[in-house]
Amino acid sequence: MEWNLFNLFKRAPDPKPSDTPAAPNTMRAKTQAPLVSYENAITAENAMGHPFVFFCLKTVAQAFATVEWYAEADPESSTPAGKRAIEQMNALLQSPNLNFSPYQLRFWMALNYACFGRIPFKIGLTVENFPNGIYPLSVGVTKENTDTRGLVTSYTYGTGEGAEVLPVREKAPDGRPYAYEISTPTISGQVDFTTNVTPLRAIGLPSQIMRMLMQRAADTASGHPNMKYVISSEKTITDPQKEAIKEHIEDSGTGAENSGNILFLGGLTVKIDELDNDLSDIHSKMPTDDMARMIARAFGIPNALVGLGAADGAKYAQNYDGSRASFYEDTIIPGYCSPVATGLTKALCPPGMLIKFDIDGIPAIGAARAARAKDIDQLGFLTIDERRELAGYKKIGGKQGAQLGPLPKIGTPAPVATSEPGDGA
């Protein structure tokens, strides 16, 4: 594709409604998969019905969605992108399409990456070939088309007569939309998502065990919560009385109209025995916490953030802040921010531009990074830029960044960059 620098100074037209992908013809099979299956991937719709899986997916998606993204000039490029091009890209990131806000798009991306290991989307273009729309594609009806060498050449979206073939960026005609997919590599190195293990697929066995434990607890707990009393007699009861007792038991099930009512039999001396109906031992029969922790770890969520019970609260109370920082530094940043940033850069950016996430703006890791920066500041044999890079901050660039000695103290004026445009401060 050719990039005309003069055209970058023109205002990008609003995204065309026709760029929005049409609704797929079908998204579900006629028969649904079990709630959890170890051998087969479960659908996200069924997974979200599992309370703890829903908690994990929502926790990951919300955390990723709150990290802002932005475009900047590539400091390593010999020809950094111009200011106007960067402004246009940032405007696109702040308004991806007519339906999604940036937060919503990032939330959707995290859900797809955790569930399927794939984030397919469609890119709309202006007549000048500059991206002006990012549109989500449903994973269930997006198929990769490869050549004889295994390279993806296009994507088919939808089924039947309404299917749409979208080329990859390199093969798209000027001004025509194309598709891109951010994906987790498989162990085979091939484009084969039937063998791709994602957090959602990895939790099959512990989720299945949790469900069986809960069922066993309900089946073996003492007490009968829907029948308050049993009435007995020493005298032989008549057939009509037997039928009355039978009807009473059948009509005392969960949610029945006479649930909990007392049965009275006339003409008999009866004895009333109250049942143990509080199910007081059910919790001792539900050892599901370990399974829940295994599920949380598959999604990269530390135990302290799960809070399954009072024991967790007491055990991890002193480590909550550290766990929040670990969640971002070990899961959200490397597992979601990094692949999405590099994927969007390849899918959207012209040469000399990068898509990045505002890691400095994450409150959970601010204190930890500040403490690490304080220790790194003592390494006087490193340049200022080398220490800033170790601490996770942007380089200053120029002569100031190449200096040795302590970093500027808090409250002193920030150094002025003398580097080329695009290095950033």
Determine the 3-state secondary structure of 84 from DSSP: helix
| Structure-block tokens of residue 85 | 């091009």
Decide: 97 and 90 in contact? Cβ < 8 Å: no
- Closest residue by Cα to residue 367 from 307, 303, 320: 320
Highest mean pLDDT among 67-76, 285-294, 310-319: 67-76
Question: Does residue 299 sit in the same domain as residue 354?
Answer: yes
For residue 422, name the pLDDT band (cuts at 50, 70, 90). very low
Helix (H) or strand (E) segment spanning residue 355: strand 353-357
Q: Are 192 and 252 contained in the same domain? A: no
The count of domains in the chain is 3
According to DSSP, residue 66 is labeled T
Instruction: Look over the chain and give the mean of its residue pLDDT values, rounded to a whole number.
Output: 75
- Per residue in 10-40, pLDDT (tens digit) is 445 566 767 777 655 444 433 433 333 334 4
Write out the two tokens for 248.
């009473």
User: Is 353 among the domain residues?
Assistant: yes
Residues 6+ apart with CB under 8 A from 406: 377, 380
**Domain-embedded: residue 95:** yes
Number of neighbouring beta carbons within 10 Å of residue 82? 18
- For residue 362, which amino acid is it? I
* Residue 36 near residue 204 (C-beta atoms within 8 A): yes
List the beta strands (DSSP E) in 217-351: 229-233, 270-274
CB atoms within 10 A of CB 344: 26
Which of 157, 156, 185, 152 is closest to 170 using CA atoms? 152
How wide is the angle at C-alpha 17 spanned by C-alphas 13 and 22, nearest 5°? 145
Q: Is there a single domain that holds both residue 250 and residue 261?
A: yes
Residue 372: inside a domain, yes or no?
Answer: no
Using CA atoms, how far residue 193 sits from 137, 184, 188, 264, in Å, is 16, 9, 10, 63
Looking at residue 286, its pLDDT comes to 52
Please give the helix or strand (H or E) that residue 240 lies within, else none.
helix 239-250
230 located within any domain: yes
Q: To 5 degrees, how large is the angle CA 156–CA 161–CA 167?
A: 25
Residue at a domain's end among 334, 362, 390: 362
Biggest CA-to-CA distance, the chain: 105
Are 283 and 266 members of one domain?
no
Residues 292 and 401 occupy one common structural domain: no
Residues 157 and 265 in one domain: no
**What pLDDT is attached to residue 425?**
33
Whether residues 350 and 256 share a domain: the answer is no
Residue 370 has a pLDDT of 75
Question: In residues, how long is the chain?
Answer: 425
Residue 220 CB neighbour total at 10 angstroms: 10
Greater pLDDT, 236 or 159: 159
Quick: pLDDT tens for 38-65: 344 446 666 677 788 889 999 999 999 9
The reply to whether 75 falls in a domain is yes
Check whether residue 164 and residue 53 sit in a common domain: yes
Task: Answer whether 0.75 is exceeded by the pTM.
Answer: no
From 317, 332, 362, give the residue that closes a domain: 362
Pairing of strands 131-136, 142-146: unpaired
Question: For tokens 């050719």, what's the residue?
Answer: 2
Indicate whether 158 belongs to any domain. Answer: yes
Residues 137 and 283 in one domain: yes
What share of residues in the chain are helix, strand, coil (percent, to 5)? 40, 15, 45
Q: Is residue 291 predicted with pLDDT exceeding 70?
A: yes
Which of the listed residues 260, 278, 296 is the one where a domain comes to its end? 278
Does some domain include residue 369? no
Cα angle for residues 343, 199, 57 (degrees, 5° grid)? 85
Are residue 41 and residue 128 in the same domain, yes or no? yes
CA distance 151 to 298: 30
Do residues 81 and 351 touch, judged by C-beta distance below 8 A?
Answer: yes
Nearest CA to 192 out of 122, 143, 137 is that of: 143
pLDDT digits (tens, 9 = 90+) for 313-370: 555 556 778 888 889 999 999 999 999 999 999 999 999 999 999 988 888 887 777 7
Is 308 part of any domain?
yes
Q: Same domain, yes or no, for 270 and 177?
A: no
Q: Residue 288 in contact with residue 210, Cβ under 8 Å?
A: yes
CA distance 87 to 347: 17
Q: What is the pLDDT of residue 259?
A: 60
- Residues 6 or more apart from 348 whose CB is under 8 A from it? 89, 92, 123, 131, 134, 355
DSSP secondary structure letter of residue 299: T
Provide the domain limits for residue 337: 1-221+279-362
Q: Which amino acid is at 94?
A: Q
Task: Burial-class residue 188 by CB neighbours within 10 Å (0-12, 13-18, 19+).
Answer: exposed
Are both 40 and 131 inside the same structural domain? yes
